[in-house]
Amino acid sequence: MDRGIISAFEKALGHEAVLTAAADCLAYGYDNSSYRANPAMVLLPVRIEQVQTAVRLARQYQLPLTARGRGTNTTGASVPIERGIVISFERMQRILAIAPGDRTAVVEPGVLNGDLQLALMPHGLFWSPDPTSAPYCSIGGNIACNAGGPRAVKYGATRDNVLALKAVTGTGELVEFGARTNKNASGFDLSRLLIGSEGGLALVVEATLKLHPKPAASRMLRALYRDVESAAEAVARLMAQPETPSMLEFMDATAIRLARDVGGADLPDAGALLMIEGDGDPARLDALMQTLATHAGGEGCLDIAIPGSSDEQAQLMVARRALSPALRSLASGKINEDVVVPVSRVPELVRFVEQLSRDSGLLIVCFGHIGNGNVHVNVMYDKAEATQTATAKSCAEKLFTEVLRLGGMLSGEHGIGLAKRGFMAQAFSPETLAMMRGIKTLFDPDNILNPGKTLPDTSS
């Protein structure tokens, strides 16, 4: 990058906030996907004013600017594919306020999800989104991709748990949306528009989060099934009854084996497994769990049990969270698609995936937050085999087509990024995409914020 441009950023932000050495920038050129592209410069702001200055300079020099949290994204959304600049929010990590009476917290984008949860524990509160990467993913990253997690089935994903945002647009303006109140009927709800936009509309610099009281008690059921379809039918029954589980997680037969052999869970072989959690008033918990067990039973159910202790329940959760990295032990290549369908269509999706695996000859492993229809479909293949690689990509395309036919969407919580951008024209009409592009232009008229992500090319 031109030395004059580097000097302009160093003068405006300070030398300590600007990285240009290739070795320093290397770690900012990838995320938890297969995409790689090293930036020419990395910026490390600590104040909102520095973010504004950085955006204005990037606009002046027409340099693409990619926002980054902790790089846990799986779709390439934080990879600077057009080189340019990465702006990392890792140093903006202050919890600015916790208001137990209002059940809100105000945070900077670099605060880690896990650190926030620890800070909320003394107040008896928690923030709902709890993705697998919770200990080391940032709130800003959660907002960028509308992160969810196991307990989103009852408490909602990120979009349901953010009250207000401050953000810097592509022109360097500071805008504020929403309010620090749980009810707000004033004007357009633009904060929800930014959530899930993957840093392509504006850079979030402060968030007011909606908190929940920590349940007084919780208990887990472990239900085993003859096959995946039986488990999917049980999910439809569970979600049709009035009491919403606080967690409803799913594993197929291969995932069960991995949870046992790699994650250390005490699990027998089965065709499928559901982890069903209920929470609330201890006096009502026995009745709730009985209701959930009744609906979990039925055709194809082999066994329903309550893990014997809190430690065993915790170990089961640890094993569930270890599934994604454990898949690397099965094959060198993995396409992980976090598709989502209406809960009533989950059995159809499961049948389709099973047939897709048989037809393709590839192992496809499924697990996920099945209570809200969000299934992680993992197509496993040998990256050294060109035929398998092509077949895996074809499986992903067929999966997306079927998911859309079932009334679902391309992503439940990982976002679009680079990985699914090419399929957006299938998911949305030309008129809808044109409106999205118009909104993008309004926020970012020079298209410097995370270009080449989310929205397809205009020719699509």
Of the candidates 168, 121, 172, the residue with the CA atom closest to the CA atom of residue 140: 168
Domain map (residue ranges) of the chain: 1-214+428-460, 217-261+269-308, 330-405
- At 132 the pLDDT is 87
Q: Which residues, in sequence order, are bridge partners of residue 248?
A: 276
Rounded CA separation 23/282 (Å)? 54
Question: What is the fold of 217-261+269-308?
Answer: Alpha-Beta Plaits (3.30.70)
Burial track 416-445 (b if 16+ CB lie within 10 A, e otherwise): bbbbbbebbeebbeeeebeebeeebeebbe
Q: Do domains 217-261+269-308 and 330-405 have the same CATH topology?
A: yes
- At 458 the pLDDT is 83
Asked if residue 140 lies in contact with residue 69, where contact means CB atoms within 8 angstroms, the answer is: yes
For 323-367, give the DSSP string: HHHHGGGT-SEEEEEEEE--GGGHHHHHHHHHHHHHHHT--EEEE
- At 316 the pLDDT is 82
Asked if residue 217 lies in contact with residue 281, where contact means CB atoms within 8 angstroms, the answer is: yes
- At 308 the pLDDT is 64
- At 329 the pLDDT is 87
* pLDDT average per 10 residues of sequence, the chain (460 residues): 94 96 95 92 98 98 97 94 93 98 98 98 97 94 96 96 98 96 91 96 98 95 94 93 94 91 88 95 94 95 84 81 85 93 91 95 94 94 96 96 97 94 95 97 98 87
Domain covering 1-214+428-460 in this structure, CATH number: 3.30.465.10
Domain covering 330-405 in this structure, CATH number: 3.30.70.2740
- At 460 the pLDDT is 57
